[in-house]
Every structure is written in C-alpha cells, then in structure tokens.
Chains A and B, each alone.
Chain A
C-alpha cells in the first residue's frame, strides 16, 4: 500500500492566492497498517478530531484522510510543546480492496479503517476430490 500525495485539482481553477504565510499547513498523522484475513486495517492517531471534522474518502483508488483539529485549553500560553494543525495523508489502495465496504470508526482520537478485500481476492481452500 503505497503512500502518495495527489495535487488538488480544485485549486487549479481558482485564482492563485498570494503565498506568504497563509498557505495551509498540515500534519501527517502516524498510522499503523496491517493485514488481516479479511483485508487491511489502517489505524491513525488523530488527536483532537471530532466526527464532524473528519473527512475520509476514496477516489480513483486513493484513500484520503483529512481532518480538522483544534486546541481545547483556554488561557494564554505559558509553555508549548506541540501545535495542532490539520491532518492530511493519502494512500494508494491495492486493487483487491473493496472500496464499497470500507468501515470507519473514530474513538478517543484514533481512527480505525477496515478495508475488506474483494471476495475473489480472499484466499480460498480448494478441496481435492479423489477419484
């Protein structure tokens, strides 16, 4: 499962904004990707992300995880060890993933995506009949 970043086509039609420090910055969230018998599971750490701020989509075989996040602590900063920027990461899906049946779950700032394989891609035991 290869990672790739596809340039957004939407921005090509809009007038170019003057780029100073206004360009959008994002964080690449750490992920675990592993195979199960059913398919692939992607687990991503997305701290501070709520369900409504999360956008997971599959288009042209590319999985895009995009999420907005924000600090929750009020007051004036005294000491800062991290910044929360928006999250963005893309992966190229293998062909055998059934993108119609992808299931997503968000809990405690962790996104779990289950990407099942298509039926024909699953290993199948072939019984041998003895004549």
Chain B
C-alpha cells in the first residue's frame, strides 16, 4: 500500500538519520557489534504492522533472514507472542568487516491484539522475509447487525 502520508516521508528520513549515526559509530564497532540492533539495542524487534477486516486481524512483521524453523508463535491473554532467532553470519572475523549494519540474535516480542481471536484457527506464513499471521476474530468480537423493528 504505497499511499502517501506525512509519515512515509518521515520514515525515510528517520532511516537516513539512523544510518548516518551508525556510520559515525562504526569507528567503535566492538561496542555495537554485540547489540542486537546496532545503535538501537532496546528497540522492539520485529517491527509489526497491525491491520484488520471484518473476519480477521492481521499481523505483518518485518523479519528478514529469520530461520523459519525457529519461529514460535503463541496467543495468550489477547496478545500475540512472536519468538525466534535471526542467525548471524558464522565464521566471519571482526576485522574482515567493511560494514556491519545488519543485526542478529534471538528475539521475543508480544503484540497486543485489537480484538479477541479464535486461537484454534490462527495461520502464519513466512514469505520473503515477511511474517504474516492471520488471526480469525472470535464470534463474540465480530460486528453484528441488529435489526430495528418498527412498531
């Protein structure tokens, strides 16, 4: 959905600024290499977009390079918990790097869902680095049309 909004421009700007700061910190790489997301260790990962229609709630998470076998999804008390691991590059010596901007490691994130879901019918798909979780709304949470009788 490439709809223009004031925030898409801001988002691009934010990424550009982040990259500038990362370049500045690259001179002290050891301090940052260990961090899960360089320069932003405390940030939630993966980033997720929530959307919904009448029948389902959708969670789309930005998770490139994650091992699909390591993904573990659970729904507990109205929250979706995403657990997994993004493997790092094995056997690369620290001094062999020209750039190291990608992060790796284990992650755990809990996302609050906007409505009650039917935990038994949840489907998840990992496609090209995006995780799409389809959570069917429970019958009680679906919109219901109420007929008005005219007296």
Contacts and interface: CB of A to CB of B under 8 A. Distances in A.
B96 A35 contact: yes
A72 B130 CA distance: 8
A34 B97 contact: yes
A61 interface: no
A72 B132 contact: yes
A80 B98 CA distance: 33
B53 A76 contact: yes
B98 A1 contact: yes
Contacts of B51: 73-78
Interface string A33-51: 1111000100111111110
A11 B111 CA distance: 43
Contact of B126 (A27, A32, A73, A108): A108
Contacts of B1: 70-71, 77
Classify the secondary structure of A's interface with B: loop
Interface string B60-79: 10111110100000000000
A46 B64 contact: yes
Most chain A beta-carbon neighbours within 10 Å: one of B66, B89, B97, B99: B99
Contacts of B89: 32, 34, 43
What size tier do the contact residues of chain B reach? Answer: 35 or more
A28 B19 contact: yes
B49 A46 contact: no
Contacts of A110: 64-65, 129
B98 A45 contact: no
A80 B15 CA distance: 16
A85 interface: yes
A68 B72 CA distance: 28
A50 B97 CA distance: 27
B16 interface: yes
Contact of B52 (A28, A43, A78): A78
B47 interface: yes
A85 B70 CA distance: 27
B50 to A, nearest CB: 4
B110 to A, nearest CB: 14
A19 interface: no
B97 to A, nearest CB: 5
Interface of B: 1-2, 4, 7-9, 11-12, 15-16, 19, 47-53, 56-60, 62-66, 68, 89, 92, 96-103, 114, 126-130, 132
8 contacts: A32-B97, A35-B96, A35-B98, A46-B64, A71-B49, A80-B50, A82-B11, A83-B7
Interface of A: 1, 21, 25-28, 30-36, 40, 43-50, 70-85, 108-110
